[in-house]
Amino acid sequence: MMLGEFEYLLITAAAILGENAYGVAMREAIVKTTGRTCSIGALYTTLDRLEAKGLIKTWMGEGTAQRGGRSKRMVHVTPAGTAAARKFYDSMTRISNRAPWAAQRTERAR
């Protein structure tokens, strides 16, 4: 199962955040790292899709005072999600290896 780009971003953000992965934290991580905006609509509809595919698991977390006592939607990446993200990453890395924009980076790494 090949992921879409945004799906990959969400799975990666959730994997990095670990036990603290939930809507706001994931949005912040994506905005900070990629510089692109992430709307609440895009976030939650994509999370639903990923959950339906069995790539993540979500549940209601506890509310905090910071959120006015309202619950969070916590996210956990399943083994299938990890495998799908790894496959996406490998494919992107392989195909990018010999791309002109990747050449400089490879040179620098050497």
Partner 1 sequence: MINIAWKVIEVLALQLTPTEREIVLGDLIETRETSCRGMLEVSGLAARRQLQLWNGWRPWLAAPGLALPCSFMLMGFSFAISSELRNHFVHGWELSFFSTQPVEAISLLCQILVLLICAWAAGFTVESVSRRTSVVSAICCFLPCLFCLLRFRQESLSRFCLLLFLFPAIAGVFFSRCDGRINRPWAVALALVATICLALLAIRGHLWLLNWELIGPPWYLAILPVRSDRLAVSQNEELFHE
Taking residues 5 to 34 in sequence order and writing x for each that binds partner 1 by CB under 8 A, - otherwise, the string is ------------------xx--x-------
Contacts of 83 (CB under 8 A, 6+ apart): none
**Considering only 5-13, 61-69, 76-84, 90-98, which stretch makes contact with partner 1 by CB under 8 A?**
61-69
From 1, 4, 67, 89, residue interacting with partner 1 (rule: CB under 8 A): 67
Which of 31, 22, 13 is CA-nearest to residue 64? 22
Residue 51 CB, shortest distance to partner 1, in Å, is 13
